[in-house]
């Protein structure tokens, strides 16, 4: 056995795949309700746009399992948060709000340099961690229990706060693609420190995705398309295979409508995002008709 084979054997011995899963095995894992996939629309920054999105989805005869805001909780008023919580409850969908403080809104100049891209949206200094926790506490007090997290240390401490009762026990933490994770080892670590779902890098390939699924049980949030600022690619034809090899999945759809991650979507944009969901659903129905979609309902 050569050195590389020994490394692969060691990885398998600790519960990880020995490499990327080029054989693309079918995932037998499921959501608790038996579903293989759910739909999520990101980049919905306020209640008016959220209402338009939900109305348009309903016109198409479809339903969403998640609506995600990405600009940050600190950019919303209490009334806006309360209204979004109300809309989510009425539509029986989950609401995910982004934690506000992050590198791009800090006073650091580093994030705006060519090297700064490596920082992602991570937090600089303990005061920013305190503020992030305060963002979560505020939204939780207004009825939101789903949060988009960008920093691994922040994820760990939020999980500790959840266990200690500092924030509600039913809070749900979704780790952002902006953290830059794309391998089974990282996924395993993030699951172990409190991630309830994980968004890997946007250009993750099928064999990589299949290997990641072997390492973790939590849902994977996968971009079916992207804003121009993060590649602009549209992967609709790959979705049926994504579901087969990596279920349970949240299919993040509608991003190509936006220019950037924190794009301030309009009502018109919301309707365009809803159309993208119908296009992805058509791909699933055409090429993997046996795929099981989670039923409508409050899901966490």
For the domain that residue 73 is a member of, what is the CATH number?
3.20.20.70
- Asked if residue 1 belongs to a domain, the reply is no
In a domain, 45, yes or no: yes
Q: Give me the helix-helix angle, 126-141 and 152-164, nearest 10°.
A: 50
3-state helix, strand, coil in the chain (%, to 5): 45, 10, 40
Residue 198: strand, helix, or coil: strand
**Domain residue limits at 36:** 24-287
Task: Dump pLDDT digits (tens) for 160-210.
Answer: 999 999 999 999 999 999 999 999 999 999 999 999 999 999 999 999 999
Task: For residues 277 and 282, give the distance between their C-alpha atoms in angstroms, rounded to a whole number.
Answer: 9
In the structure encoding, which two tokens stand for residue 266, read together? 């309009």
Is 187 a domain residue? yes
User: Does residue 213 belong to any structural domain of this protein?
Assistant: yes
Across all residues in the chain, what is the average pLDDT?
Answer: 93
Which H or E element spans position 275? helix 267-287
- Distance CA(92)–CA(72), nearest Å, equals 22
Give, rounded to a whole angstrom, the gap between the first and last alpha carbons of the chain: 46
Judged by average pLDDT, the poorest of 80-84, 240-244, 254-258, 270-274 is 254-258
pTM: 0.93
pLDDT surpasses 60 at 300: no
Count up the domains in the chain and report the number.
Answer: 1
- Whether 3 is covered by a domain: the verdict is no
**Residue 225 in domain:** yes
Residue 261 has pLDDT above 70, yes or no: no
How far apart CA 214 and CA 106 sit, in angstroms, is: 37
Average pLDDT, integer, range 1-5: 90
Residue-wise pLDDT tens digits, 214-246 = 999 999 999 999 888 778 889 999 999 999 999
190: tokens are: 């993030």
Q: Is residue 296 part of a domain?
A: no
**Average pLDDT rounded to a whole number, residues 27-42:** 97
Query: Is 189 strand, coil or helix?
Result: helix
Q: Is residue 46 part of a domain?
A: yes
Report the alpha-carbon distance of residue 175 to residue 189 in Å, rounded: 12
d(CA 13, CA 293): 34
pLDDT tens for each residue of 92-136: 999 999 998 777 777 776 777 766 666 778 898 999 999 999 999
Q: For strands 37-41 and 146-149, give the pairing.
A: unpaired
């Amino acid at each position: 056995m050569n050195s590389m084979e020994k490394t692969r054997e060691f990885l398998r011995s600790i519960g990880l795949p020995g490499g990327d899963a080029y054989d693309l095995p079918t995932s037998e894992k499921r959501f608790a309700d038996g579903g293989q996939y759910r739909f999520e629309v990101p980049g919905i920054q306020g209640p008016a746009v959220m209402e338009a999105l939900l109305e348009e989805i309903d016109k198409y005869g479809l339903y969403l399992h998640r609506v995600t805001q990405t600009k940050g909780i600190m950019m919303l008023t209490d009334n806006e948060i309360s209204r979004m919580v109300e809309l989510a409850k009425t539509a029986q969908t989950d609401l995910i709000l982004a934690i506000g403080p992050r590198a791009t809104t800090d006073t650091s100049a580093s994030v705006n340099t060519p090297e700064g891209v490596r920082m992602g949206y991570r937090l600089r200094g303990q005061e920013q961690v305190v503020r992030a926790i305060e963002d979560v506490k505020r939204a939780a007090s207004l009825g939101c229990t789903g949060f988009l997290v960008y920093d691994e240390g922040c994820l760990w401490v939020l999980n500790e706060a959840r266990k200690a009762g500092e924030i509600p026990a039913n809070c749900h933490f979704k780790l952002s693609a902006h953290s830059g994770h794309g391998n089974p080892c990282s996924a395993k670590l993030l699951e172990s420190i409190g991630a309830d779902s994980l968004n890997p890098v946007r250009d993750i390939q099928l064999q990589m995705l299949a290997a990641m699924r072997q390492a973790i049980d939590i849902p994977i949030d996968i971009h079916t398309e992207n804003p121009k600022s993060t590649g602009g690619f549209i992967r609709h034809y790959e979705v049926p295979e994504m579901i087969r090899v990596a279920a349970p999945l949240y299919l993040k759809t509608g991003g190509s409508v936006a220019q950037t991650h924190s794009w301030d979507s309009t009502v018109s944009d919301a309707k365009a995002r809803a159309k993208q969901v119908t296009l992805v659903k058509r791909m699933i129905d055409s090429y993997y008709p046996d795929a099981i979609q989670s039923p409508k309902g409050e899901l966490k």
